[in-house]
């Protein structure tokens, strides 16, 4: 069966979906419909990119000839794009008054936030005759071109013995461990002769500049996803919040330390071969808020830099 898959727009969710489409590819011919900034994640697949809703709908009208369409996001627009392709089998979660656009509607389990999201994702494979008893882990191997570019970047900045970090999140500041904590962590590693490489987007470059130390290298906005994955994997360890880059590092096989607070690792913990989750929830966690309602982020500040250092040892 020839299947077109609409993957999520958030990096973390897209990393989870990578495991899903690789399972699907074992039995079917799979193409990917993806937001432009995430294209690198699916370089092994035939991909179609879009940059806006209007672009998505125009592209969908032209993507004819598919036997099936799988929409992983729960948005109305993603189901509509599947309907516009004319695919006879259209699969997605029953949500957001979009059921009439789908031929196979998957009910979201009532306990979906009390188990890892991959358990919910794999339900989407059943209409395509794929039944899994275990959740698949996403595995991302950067392209040779991205590996070469990442190595060149490390040479330019004279980086060798280092940890990689991603201090920021796209969702909101509540999930961030904080610049002050990363500054303290940088000082701890400076004492041991270890550099800190900061990864992130171009818009985060200015915020990363606040983490000042002679052993800190700010690469925000200087890498592709593939380059960031390679830099993370090559480092002594990767430290991040519940963010897309943390999920990417885990999928790339990096020794990953994920700091959780306002979100539950039961639901969205990174999946990888070497992942440690640090989570000390107060009674108010998980609140799932973009900004801390209490203004003190006690859930995130419960983790101190010395604990991170000990985990890396």
Angle between helices 76-85 and 53-62 (to 10 degrees): 20
Cα dihedral: 173, 216, 181, 140 (round 10)? 60
Query: How far is Cα 153 from Cα 227, in angstroms, rounded to an integer?
Result: 9
What tokens were used for 282?
């107060």
Give the model confidence (pLDDT) of 62-104 as tens digits: 999 999 999 999 999 999 999 999 999 999 999 979 999 999 9
Give the model confidence (pLDDT) of 200-221 as tens digits: 999 999 999 999 888 999 999 9
CB atoms within 10 A of CB 283: 6
Domains by residue range for the chain, with CATH: 2-128 (3.40.50.2000), 144-312 (3.40.50.2000)
Query: How far is Cα 2 from Cα 102, in angstroms, rounded to an integer?
Result: 17
Cα–Cα distance list, 313 to 147, 189, 262, 308, 310 (Å): 26, 11, 26, 9, 5
What tokens were used for 100?
């009439």
Provide the residue count of the chain: 313
Give the model confidence (pLDDT) of 168-200 as tens digits: 998 889 999 999 999 999 999 999 999 999 999
Give the model confidence (pLDDT) of 24-49 as tens digits: 999 999 999 999 999 999 999 999 99
Query: How far is Cα 208 from Cα 165, in angstroms, rounded to an integer?
Result: 10
Residue ranges of alpha helices (H) inside the chain are 11-25, 53-62, 76-85, 117-121, 144-156, 179-190, 205-208, 225-234, 244-252, 265-268, 298-301, 305-312
On whether the CB atoms of residues 312 and 278 are closer than 8 A, the answer is no
């Amino acid at each position: 069966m020839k299947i077109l898959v609409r993957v999520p727009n958030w990096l973390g969710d897209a990393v989870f979906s990578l495991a899903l489409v690789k399972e699907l590819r074992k039995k079917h011919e799979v193409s990917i419909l993806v937001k432009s900034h995430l294209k690198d994640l699916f370089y092994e697949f035939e991909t179609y990119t879009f940059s806006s809703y209007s672009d998505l709908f125009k592209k969908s009208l032209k993507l004819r000839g598919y036997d099936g369409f799988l929409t992983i996001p729960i948005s109305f627009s993603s189901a509509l794009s599947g309907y516009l392709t004319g695919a006879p089998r259209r699969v997605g979660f029953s949500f957001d008054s979009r059921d009439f656009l789908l031929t196979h509607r998957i009910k979201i389990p009532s306990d979906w936030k009390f188990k890892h999201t991959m358990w919910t994702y794999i339900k989407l494979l059943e209409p395509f005759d794929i039944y899994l008893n275990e959740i698949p882990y996403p595995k991302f191997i950067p392209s040779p071109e991205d590996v070469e570019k990442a190595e060149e970047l490390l040479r330019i900045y004279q980086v060798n013995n280092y940890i990689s970090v991603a201090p920021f999140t796209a969702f909101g500041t509540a999930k961030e461990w904080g610049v002050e904590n990363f500054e303290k962590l940088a000082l701890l590693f400076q004492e041991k002769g270890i550099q800190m490489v900061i990864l992130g987007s171009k818009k985060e470059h200015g915020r990363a500049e606040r983490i000042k130390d002679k052993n800190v290298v700010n690469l925000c906005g200087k890498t592709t996803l593939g380059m960031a994955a390679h830099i993370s994997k090559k480092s002594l360890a990767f430290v991040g919040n519940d963010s897309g880059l943390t999920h990417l590092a885990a999928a790339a096989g990096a020794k990953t330390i994920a700091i959780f607070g306002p979100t539950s690792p039961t639901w969205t913990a990174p999946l990888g071969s070497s992942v440690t989750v640090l989570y000390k929830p107060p009674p108010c966690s998980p609140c799932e808020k973009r900004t801390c309602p209490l203004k003190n982020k006690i859930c995130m500040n419960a983790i101190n830099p010395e604990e991170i250092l000990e985990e890396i040892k």
